[in-house]
């Protein structure tokens, strides 16, 4: 099987959509020899901040010398970003070999009327590959929700983290924060250890505390008073925890809170017998990279790329722009039709002199025309474009060296337009 054929087969499972329940994963993993039982885990859920927490944790473990798997979603540039060991993506040849091995099991389950979805297959590939390569520990990002998410097939993790919880995927998880919190609290297992993001909507903490009591799980909430911010800027944040000076390259005040969660995860891992020197912690934080999460691609003019796609992400982006980007700002934006684009534009739209919209290459995309119509209610000028290249040309018209271009709204857009941005701003 070639890599292209492997991708085609994986994508063919999209036909089965998202189906709640772990029965298919249980049957699939059992027939693969239950590789998830041969390693340890950190499990991370939440509406926002999952990706940052996962990449920070995996980076620290890697710097500590542990063979570390990282399974994230969505990807930005390359499908293989979803499968990483020690910061390296799976090779195309290895991914094809993995699917060669797993596909006959998937076909047997099809014949038994137990069809595996795309996300379930991706999760199975990650777990199978991590075990085969001898990973000591894997950091797993929940795809959606928690209780019925395919990643919840893992045994009791060394640490579970629940990041910032807000409204997203409401058609699947519920239309209140409390309903969503209950679903995400499904990753809490008997006797587990749970870290909760320190600032949550009312009611969330009570739901998590109740779930921890029910499962006899230990709950920790980071004490932000222990963290002293030393410097904040467009390049990230320098802060101190106890006597340890740390730098995170991620932009925004919320990233300090994400880092606080990871510091608690590290403490739990140390208590569980992992040797994580302070030097590895410092270097792991500093070396972390996460594309399209308030990523700076150019300085003059400033070009910032962010794939955040819900109102919580929009608020975090607005906070960062108001603090660190004082000049005139133009947005290039594309969103999915099933996201709350009106809420995102209400938050972000007034910051921009101009919003240029585009339709990302995805069947779930909101049209550029519909997004521009919404944007026009909140900013001076809103223009739809036919393509990413045209959108970039329109966005750059009249943009001065001291101005800023903010590309935002969707990871699908981020993946499509990032090569154009790198080409345009190379060397700036």
DSSP-assigned letters across all residues of 309-323: -SHHHHHHHHHHHHH
Q: How far apart are CA 138 and CA 36, in angstroms?
A: 10
The answer to whether 414 touches 335, Cβ cutoff 8 Å, is no
Q: What are the tens digits of pLDDT across the range 351-378?
A: 999 999 999 998 889 999 999 999 999 9
Domain boundaries, the chain: 3-287, 295-424
Q: What is the DSSP letter of 171?
A: H
Q: How far apart are CA 193 and CA 189, in angstroms?
A: 8
Sheet containing 137-141: which strands, arranged edge to edge?
88-89, 84-85, 68-71, 137-141, 40-45, 159-162, 193-196, 218-220
Residue 173: is its pLDDT beyond 60? no
Strand 88-89 with 354-357, pairing: unpaired
Which residues, at least 6 apart from 122, have a Cβ–Cβ distance to it below 8 Å? 10, 73, 82
Architecture of the domain spanning 295-424: Alpha-Beta Complex (3.90)
The CATH class that applies to domain 3-287 reads alpha beta
Residue 262: is its pLDDT beyond 50? yes
Q: How many CB atoms lie within 10 A of CB 172?
A: 13
Domains 3-287 and 295-424 share a fold: no
Which class for 397: exposed (0-12), middle (13-18), buried (19 or more C-beta within 10 A)?
Answer: exposed
Mean pLDDT over the full length of the chain = 93
The answer to whether 309 touches 409, Cβ cutoff 8 Å, is yes
Q: How far apart are CA 400 and CA 329, in angstroms?
A: 10
Grouping H, G, I as helix, E, B as strand and the rest as coil, residue 211 is helix
Q: What are the tens digits of pLDDT across the range 53-84?
A: 999 999 999 999 999 999 998 888 899 999 99
Q: What percent of the chain has pLDDT over 90?
A: 81
The answer to whether 83 touches 140, Cβ cutoff 8 Å, is no
Q: How far apart are CA 256 and CA 238, in angstroms?
A: 9
Supply the pTM of this predicted model. 0.91
Least Cα distance to 288 among 42, 58, 100, 67 occurs for 58
Distance of CA 26 to the CA centre of its chain: 25
pLDDT category at 428 given cuts 50, 70, 90 is: low
Q: In residues, how long is the chain?
A: 428
Tokens 């798997």 belong to: 69
């Amino acid at each position: 099987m070639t890599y292209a054929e492997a991708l085609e087969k994986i994508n063919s499972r999209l036909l089965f959509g998202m189906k709640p329940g772990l029965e298919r994963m249980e049957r699939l993993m059992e027939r693969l020899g239950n590789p998830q039982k041969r390693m340890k885990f950190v499990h991370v859920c939440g509406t926002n901040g999952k990706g940052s927490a996962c990449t920070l944790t995996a980076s620290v473990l890697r710097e500590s010398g542990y063979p570390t798997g990282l399974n994230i979603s969505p990807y930005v540039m390359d499908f293989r970003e979803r499968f990483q060991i020690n910061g390296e993506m799976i090779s195309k040849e290895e991914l094809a070999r993995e699917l060669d091995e797993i596909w006959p099991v998937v076909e047997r389950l099809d014949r038994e009327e137990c069809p595996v979805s795309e996300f379930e297959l991706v999760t199975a590939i990650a777990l199978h590959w991590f075990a085969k390569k001898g990973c000591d520990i894997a950091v797993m990002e929940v795809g959606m929700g928690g209780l019925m998410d395919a990643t919840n097939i893992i045994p009791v993790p060394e640490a579970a983290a629940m990041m910032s919880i807000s409204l997203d995927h409401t058609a699947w998880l519920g239309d209140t924060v409390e309903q969503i919190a209950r679903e995400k609290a499904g990753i809490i297992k008997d006797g587990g250890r749970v870290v909760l993001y320190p600032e949550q909507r009312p009611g969330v903490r009570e739901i998590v505390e109740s779930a921890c009591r029910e499962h006899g799980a230990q709950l920790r909430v980071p004490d932000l008073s222990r963290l002293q911010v030393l410097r904040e800027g467009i390049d990230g944040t320098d802060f101190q925890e106890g006597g340890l000076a740390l730098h995170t390259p991620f932009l925004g005040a919320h990233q300090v809170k994400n880092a606080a969660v990871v510091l608690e995860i590290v403490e739990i891992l140390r208590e569980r017998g992992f040797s994580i020197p302070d030097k590895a912690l410092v270097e792991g934080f500093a070396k972390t990279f996460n594309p399209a999460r308030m990523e700076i691609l150019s300085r003059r003019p400033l070009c910032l790329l962010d794939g955040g796609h819900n109102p919580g992400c929009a608020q975090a982006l607005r906070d960062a722009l108001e603090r660190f980007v004082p000049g005139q700002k133009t947005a290039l934006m594309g969103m999915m039709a099933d996201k709350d684009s009106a809420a995102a534009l209400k938050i972000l739209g007034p910051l921009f002199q101009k919003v240029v919209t585009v339709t990302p290459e995805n069947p779930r995309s909101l049209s550029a025309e519909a997004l521009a119509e919404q944007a026009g209610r909140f900013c001076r000028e809103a223009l739809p474009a036919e393509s990413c290249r045209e959108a970039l040309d329109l966005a750059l018209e009249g943009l001065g060296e001291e101005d800023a271009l903010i590309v935002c709204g969707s990871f699908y857009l981020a993946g499509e337009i990032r090569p154009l941005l790198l080409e345009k701003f190379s060397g700036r």
